Structure 1
Amino acid sequence: MSHNFTISPTKLNQFTFHFQDFKNAILGVTEAPRITFPGGIEIGANVNVPQATEERKFQFRDDFSLQFDKHSLKFGVNYIHTKLGGFFFFGSRGYTVTFFDLPSVIATNTALYPLGFATPGAVQNIQFAAGEASHDQTLHQLAFYVQDDYKITPRLTLNLGLRWDANIGNLPDQTNNRTILLLQQLNHPLAQAITADPQKLSRSTPSWTEIQPRIGFAWDPTGAGRTVIRGGYGIFYDQLFQNLTLFGKSQADPEIYQTVLNLTNTAVGVGQLSAYRFGIDPLPAPPAGFNISNLAVGGFGRITDPDASEPYIQKFSLGFETTLGRDYTISSDYVHTLGIHESRVQVINPRIENICNALYPGSNPASPQCVRGVNSRLLDLAFVNAGLPANRLEQINMIGTTNRSLFDSWTTTFKMRKRGMLFSASYVLSSSRSWGGQPVASYTGNGIAIAPQNQFLPQEFGPTRFDERHRLVMSGVFELPWGFQIAPILQLSSARPYSPSTGVDIDGDGLGTIDRLCEGVSPLALLQSVIQTGAGLPSVSDRVRALNPRGCVQAPVNSQRSGFVVRSDGTIEERSGRFFNVDLRVGKNFRFGERYRLSTYADFYNLFNVENLSYANRFGLSPATAAGTFSQPFSLYGPGFGPPVGRPLTVQFGARFTF
């Protein structure tokens, strides 16, 4: 609902009220355990279900516009009241059983798996999760702004603006977070740094100082209206969205969703599940005395960084646009973007195998820190000194905003318009970089968490998985004789990078997901090793470790842009990861008198049937332990939450009749 009030020819007030009510529920379909294998193979229950989302929103906005002299002034206020509800299981509900190898390997490698799936220690990990994870929350979003388009001269205009935002209630109070309560009992520098300030733990508004100045200009150097030079700078804040903060919030609620059991083998037959026989022994029971209102011994801790801030960018641009003759236009713009306070998940209680495991160079297994031998974690000794079990908590994830990103692009566009012809071509030279190689303006998941001491290693900064150095796009509409029309569009871009990863823990922090190949190790050489089959071979993970020893310096993030295709005869072909696609529409109109028209068309997608292949999962990782997909085609080009970009040649016919 809106109301416009014209006060005078130069004054206008606009008031808007908006109401929105949203409800959604996704139900689970089975209570069976979730069973996972390398390469993303899963059977049984899905993660994140069941879940429900409820959102009720009221928005009040008022804008006042004023024209005077050389100024076009506008200022206003925006208030949004949001009531959020529902629940979300941010992982599996019930049991998850993970194997080291693919089913085909377990069934055929009798030397390593003499009893197949029932071989003692064949399982890599067993987890059990239970509880509820509600996300009831009330948010108040308040913003004020003022802007002015100031026409200094007929040829020069300044665009000036200032905005202030506050997202009140966007941070959950962590005073009663169970992980925080346990950390407060520890005499450890890390735990004390996190819990020392009660005001930070209880604050619910990320910041009251989100001041965002903006300035831009447009200059006509000749006064002929055919050329403009433009540029600008601004600060733009985003909002910490709930999919980040609900993890810490869930452990402050009366009933906690949590992983109450997490048992791991480091190799087949080695570790906490060394004697477990899948399909014969019952699944391990949760710890005795477990209470859903408290974190179980050995549970998974989740908190939000007390210093978390809302992300923002500083953006600068400079460019020009000019017309050439009557039919041609060319423009070119440079954009620089610096992302600050972007999200990264840190594991603040990592394993310390680099100290406690004799297989790591420079280790000291006799250290007092090694309370549980090779299974020891950073805070184990502090838990013991506080009179608690050494494994009072296992992994602790902290959602923080410690990341940064950089994006630079230079975009040049040429347009032509003639009788019976429209044509456009654009070229983009760009570079996208960040710590961890993720597009950190969006949430990238607990699954790729990193230990704090590794977050800012030199090799952690590099191109993001969406980085495309070059992109060319050409399109047009062309009228042909006999009433035919064709509209092609061509896209060509350089390959996106990814990280060939080991799939096993290399640095001793207990996190194998993001550990990359050792520096200097050839992905091709590793692929040749892991795809070998037959009895008597070491496990795939052992073959990975043979080329990637513990404690090595890892390769830079997202260092690979090509992949491989393994032929049926075992030979390996290297393939580019570039993207090339041509789509085409061919149409013809038929007229019947003055009132009737039949429009027919045929759409050709991927006209030349090019295989645009992606060699990594949606996190830009390709684990070597998944031998069947390591650095090999994982999906069509464009992996992510959305559908793939690529597709085989597809033809679609259609018609439209108008009268």
Structure 2
Amino acid sequence: MNSTQERFNQSQLYRNRKFTINDVWSINSNWVNDLRLQYAYYSLANQNPCSTCPQDVTIVDLGQVTVGPGDNQYQKQNTYSVVDNLSWAHGKHTFKFGGQYMHFIYPQFFLSRSNGDNWYKTMQTLVNDLEPDVRGRTLRNAGSGFFLGTQSAMYGFLQDDIKVTPRLTLNLGLRYEYWTNPVGDETQALNAISSVPGVINFGIPKTDKNNIAPRVGFAFDPTGSGKTAIRAGFGIYYDVKFQNFASITLPPQLQSELDPASACTLTPQPSWCATHTNFLAGGGLPATYIPPATQADARALTTSYIDDTVMPKVLSWSLSVQRELYHNSSLEVRYLGTRGVSLPVQYRRNRTSYFDAGGAVLPTFLNPSSIPATWNANTPTDVGYYNFDSNIYAPFGFAANVTSDPPYGSSTYHGGSISFTQRAFRGLTLNTNYTYAHAIDNSTNEFFTSLLNPRRAEDTNRLVNDRANSDLDVRHKFVLSLIYELPKTTTGNRFLKALLNGYQISPVFLGQSGQPVTIQSAVDSNGNGDTAGDRAVFNPSGTGQVSGDVFPVCELPGGTTYVGTTSFLSADLNGCNANSSAPFGFDPAIGYTPVNPGDRYVIAGAGARSTIGRNSITTPGFGVLNLSVFKNTHISETKYLQLQAQVFNILNHPNYSLSNGNVFSNAGVVTATTTQSYVLPFDPNFLNPKVFSGGIRSITLGVKLFF
């Protein structure tokens, strides 16, 4: 983690080693066996630079800025692999079959939120040291962070390339993959005491054995001249389920996650539970792990569930036409489509929304003239919202969020590209490509690698409502790269020849459209106990890209209404006037209205429904020109020295867009991609592209010796 404060700078230590033994045996002219034995070692260690620092705090009205160190982490992975492939050429057929066995010894340690995550709506709440008031986001883990990720993988395949005619080749293949679950998954059985028959069963997760992957394709020369090729193919591919899903979901017998509600069920209670004041002074969420002694304790501390393994699957198909234009040059037009299924989605199993439970939606009166002057007994209010308990497992004694990663996600990608390639010709090598593509999915950010996109759906029970442009959707992309070797000088002077020859110039231009982000409210609008996915309200009468907070529309006992003068985000509850005889001590709200009726985007208050779709806003695109210059000086026939000068963004043109062209960045890095201010309607930097880095010019000089 990078920071201007030294105590928050976090070091990372990586180590890698790889060894390979390869034996290729030509049995005869038709049979060839390829055997590979491989070993790889990898380790990573992060250290918390300030273990005595206060707990991490996030302040919503300051753009969700977070202050605090990261968590300790280490992992070591020893990988052993045996691969054996056998090829047989027989007539028109070229058969290839073989397999691979891999074994991973993978101990790791990571205790997420070990320092506590405390979320405050306002800086004032933090200054007053009140209990953090952002529902579902104040959490702390305690206990063991050790997870044994040891597992094995086995692959087998058959492939036949058939030369049907001199101009047509058919490719047929079948592959099977099997992965064991990480050994650490078995720790879920330690929590069997928390099982509820017919509701949730804490046992050892099952492996996925149904991973058959057929492949089919062809290559066709329509003219027989060898200058045109038509290729097409279809295949099914499987991905590995990340161990992160299991390693951060240990049972309460090893690790527990506390929020304010579950912390106050402990005996003894934290001192702040009685008054909800002096939160940090009273130690905040406790870090002391207390093993559950009874079924009631175990259920109250259960925070996770590991589903039976279903490997993520991608169906992929493509069609391309390639044509040689002239010597060493070709043009290719290509279409690629993919369909992803069984993708992991972060899901809080025990939560349902107020709306799913039949709760009435409170209106957002975008036009102040539409606010009713009176109310009646049938007018819904926010009392039902505040009385609602989203925890459907509460009757069984579960107090915290029970989070899992079931295979509910799906994606679709369609892309068309045109590429021109000029291989080395008179010192020039050129590649250029333009791609138009559209990526759609219902989840991308389950590891929270972007703060500009939600990590969970607004309502996971209605995942279809989150199907939209993917976080990774880049609609247009153009790349031009070339390498030009300057003509050689034939002077007889040896010194001048060495000085004037061996130069290469390589400019690269990259331009692409922006990526989608989601306008978020940071308010639990739908009452499911989670602010992560809740979006804002769109005002069609609003102008520009302005946004803001809302006032509550409140009811008086006499049957009249009034607009509160305290905005929702600044209020202790709903922003209505204090009323000791009313539920929760304030007049009920019957809806909301923008603080500024001209705002195009406003937050969705408690019990209001958002009207903006996921990823409905696109950040600015960018274009950058880089230049590299190389000077190669031969020392001998087998050795040469290369001097390098590389200039990134040589024109020093500011690109106020997402860094590196995507929304993802290293966790904890303090850059524009890790602030939510760009997508929060109440923030002064809302949709202001200058919160992103402009990408200043940088120059790198280097020397390499090749031998």
Say which is worse superposed, 585-594 or 126-135, in terms of deviation: 585-594
Q: Distance in 1 between matches of 2:41 and 2:706?
A: 37
Who is 2:536 aligned against? Answer: 517
Residues 408-427 of structure 1 correspond to what in structure 2 (within 5 A)? 408-416=414-422, 418-427=425-434
Query: What residue number does 1:268 align with?
Result: none
In 1: Cα distance, 2:342 partner to 2:449 partner: 12
Q: Which residue of 2 aligns with 1:44?
A: 68
Matched to 2:517, the amino acid is Y
Equivalent in the alignment of 1:305: 307
Deviations 1:574-620 (A, max 9, x none): xxx01111112245667999999876554321122222233696499
Partner of 1:642: none
Describe the shift of the 1:591–1:133 C-alpha distance in structure 2 as closer, same or farther (beyond 3 A): closer
Partner AA of 1:491 in structure 2: L
Letter in 1 for 2:69: A
Give SS of 1:456's match.
Answer: helix
Residue 251, structure 1, aligned to residue 251, structure 2? yes
Task: Give the deviation of 1:376 after TM superposition.
Answer: 4.8
CA contact (8 A) 1:170 1:204 kept: no
Unaligned runs of 5+ in 1: 107-112, 186-191, 265-270, 563-576, 638-645
Q: CA deviation at 1:229?
A: 0.5
SS at match of 1:302: coil
Give 2:371's aligned residue.
none
Confirm or deny that 1:379 pairs with 2:393: yes
1:648 to 696, 700, 704: 696
SS of match in other structure, 1:202: coil
Which residue does 1:84 correspond to in 2? 106
1:192-271 superposed matches below 5 A: 192=198, 194-195=200-201, 201-206=203-208, 208-248=209-249, 250-251=250-251, 254-259=253-258, 261-262=260-261
In 1, are the aligned partners of 2:685 and 2:691 still within 8 Å (CA)? Answer: no
Q: What residue identity is the alignment partner of 1:244?
A: F
Counterpart in the other structure of 1:189: none
- Distance change (3 Å), C-alpha of 1:516 and 1:545: farther
**Aligned position for 2:585:** none
- One of 674, 687, 700 as aligned partner of 1:631: 687
Q: Secondary structure at the match of 2:246?
A: helix
Kindly tell me: are residues 363 and 166 of structure 1, through their superposed partners in 2, closer, same or farther at Cα, counting changes over 3 Å? farther
In 2, Cα distance between the equivalents of 1:521 and 1:274?
Answer: 43
How far off its partner does 1:655 sit? 5.7
What one-letter code is carried by the residue in structure 1 that aligns with 2:439?
A: S
Q: Is the 8 A contact 1:173 1:204 kept in 2?
A: no
Could you give the per-residue CA deviations for residues 524-545 of structure 1, whole angstroms, max 9, x where no partner exists?
77745369xxxx9746566998
Structure 2: 5+ residue stretches without partners: 1-20, 264-271, 364-378, 488-499, 551-564, 576-591, 595-601, 666-672
Structure 1 distance, partners of 2:36, 2:703, is 41
Q: Larger deviation: 164-173 or 468-477?
A: 164-173
Matched, 1:61 2:74: no
One of 7, 10, 15 as aligned partner of 2:35: 15
Deviation at 1:55, TM superposition (A): 2.3
- Aligned match of 2:16: none
Which residue of structure 2 lines up, in the alignment, with residue 139 of structure 1? 151
CA distance in 1, matches of 2:479, 2:461: 39
2:216–2:233 CA contact under 8 A, matched in 1: yes
CA deviation profile, 1:269-299 (whole Å, cap 9, x unmatched): xx98974145655536589976499856753
Matches within 5 A, 1:137-176: 137-170=149-182, 172-173=185-186, 176=189
Contact 1:527–1:624, Cα closer than 8 Å, also in 2 = no
Which residues in structure 2 correspond to 1:342-491 (within 5 Å)?
342-350=343-351, 352-354=353-355, 360=362, 373-380=387-394, 382-383=395-396, 388=397, 392-416=398-422, 418-436=425-443, 438=444, 448-450=455-457, 453-458=460-465, 460-479=466-485, 485-491=504-510
Letter in structure 2 aligned against 1:651? I
Does structure 1 retain, via aligned residues, the 8 Å contact 2:31–2:88? yes
1:95-114 counterparts in 2 under 5 A?
95-101=116-122, 103=123, 106=124
Aligned equivalent of 1:6, options 26, 43, 46: 26
In 2, Cα distance between the equivalents of 1:143 and 1:153? Answer: 31
Is the 1:164–1:212 contact (alpha carbons within 8 Å) kept by the matching residues of 2? yes
Q: In 2, Cα distance between the equivalents of 1:443 and 1:347? A: 19
The equivalent residue for 1:582 is 625
CA distance in 1, matches of 2:273, 2:681: 20
* TM-score, normalization by structure 2: 0.72
> Quick check: 1:349–1:396 contact (8 Å CA) kept in 2?
yes
For normalisation by structure 1, the TM-score amounts to 0.77
More strand by share: 1
Paired residue type of 1:15 = L
Correspondence for 1:561 among 618, 629, 638: 618
1:304 partner SS? coil
Q: Aligned-pair distance for 1:334? A: 0.3
Query: Does the 8 Å contact 1:228/1:321 carry over to 2?
Result: yes
Residues 301/634 of structure 1: CA separation in 2 closer, same or farther (3 Å cut)? farther
Assess, with a 3 A threshold, how the Cα gap between structure 1 residues 309 and 40 changes in structure 2: closer, same or farther: same
SS of residue paired to 2:548: helix
State whether structure 2 residue 184 is matched by structure 1 residue 184. Answer: no
How far apart, in 1, do the equivalents of 2:402 and 2:248 lie?
Answer: 11
Query: Is residue 260–residue 300 contact of structure 1 (8 Å, CA) maintained in 2?
Result: no
Aligned residues with identical type, % of pairs = 21
1:276 aligns with 2:277: yes
CA distance in structure 2 between the partners assigned to 1:300 and 1:161 by the alignment: 45
- RMSD value over aligned CA atoms? 4.1
8 A contact 1:170–1:205 mirrored in 2: no
Shift of residue 515, structure 1, vs aligned partner: 1.2
Q: How far apart, CA to CA, are the structure 2 residues paired with 1:480 and 1:289? A: 71
Partner of 2:587: none
Q: Return the offset for 1:75.
A: 0.6
Structure 1 residues 182 and 7 mapped into 2: Cα distance closer, same or farther (>3 Å)?
A: same
2:46 maps to 1:26: yes
1:635/1:337 CA distance change after superposition, 3 Å:
farther
